[in-house]
């Protein structure tokens, strides 16, 4: 099992948030040409919400704290911003990202 590294997790989560934000900016212009990009937009907005929340937080200090926070987030509905196209689709993606993280950190293989 790898050593737990809160700083590496912060960097990883920040990178994911920034990547999602870049993609959101790219997709915004494409939505004007085709509404089929609304689905992609909602997915990346959910990804941004999850990873932007996670980086730089005190609960990254240990696996148990992170898992508690992830499970709490997964059991709570949030109100996305008004620019989400389908709130149910957004919520499904948000939960999916959280479930993937819960699975990853529950197995003990992530650091």
In this predicted structure, what is the pLDDT of residue 9? 97
Write the DSSP assignment of the chain as a string of letters: -PPP-HHHHHHHHHHHHHHHHHHHHHHHHHHTT-TTHHHHHHHHHHHHHHHHHHTT-GGGGSHHHHHHHHHHHHTS-----TT-S-HHHHHHHHHHHHHHHHHHHHTT---
Domain segments of the chain: what residues?
6-106
Query: What is the model's pLDDT at position 16?
Result: 98
Task: Kindly report the pTM of this predicted structure.
Answer: 0.89
Check residue 111 and give its pLDDT: 52
pLDDT higher than threshold 60 for residue 1: no
pLDDT tens digit sequence for 2-26: 689 999 999 999 999 999 999 999 9
Q: pLDDT tens digit string along 23-82?
A: 999 999 899 899 899 999 999 999 999 999 999 999 999 999 999 999 999 999 888 888
Region 94-101 average pLDDT: 97
pLDDT of residue 102 exceeding 80: yes
pLDDT for residue 107: 83
CA angle, corner 39, sides to 56 and 79, nearest 5? 50
């Amino acid at each position: 099992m790898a050593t737990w590294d809160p700083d590496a997790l912060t960097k990883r989560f920040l990178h994911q948030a920034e990547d999602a934000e870049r993609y959101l900016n790219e997709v915004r212009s494409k939505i004007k040409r085709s509404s089929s990009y609304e689905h992609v937009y909602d997915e990346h907005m959910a990804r941004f919400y999850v990873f932007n929340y996670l980086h730089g937080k005190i609960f990254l200090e240990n696996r148990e704290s992170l898992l508690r926070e992830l499970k709490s987030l997964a059991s709570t509905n949030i109100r996305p911003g008004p620019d989400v196209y389908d709130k149910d689709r957004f919520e499904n993606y948000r939960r999916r990202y959280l479930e993937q993280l819960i699975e990853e950190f529950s197995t003990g293989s992530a650091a």
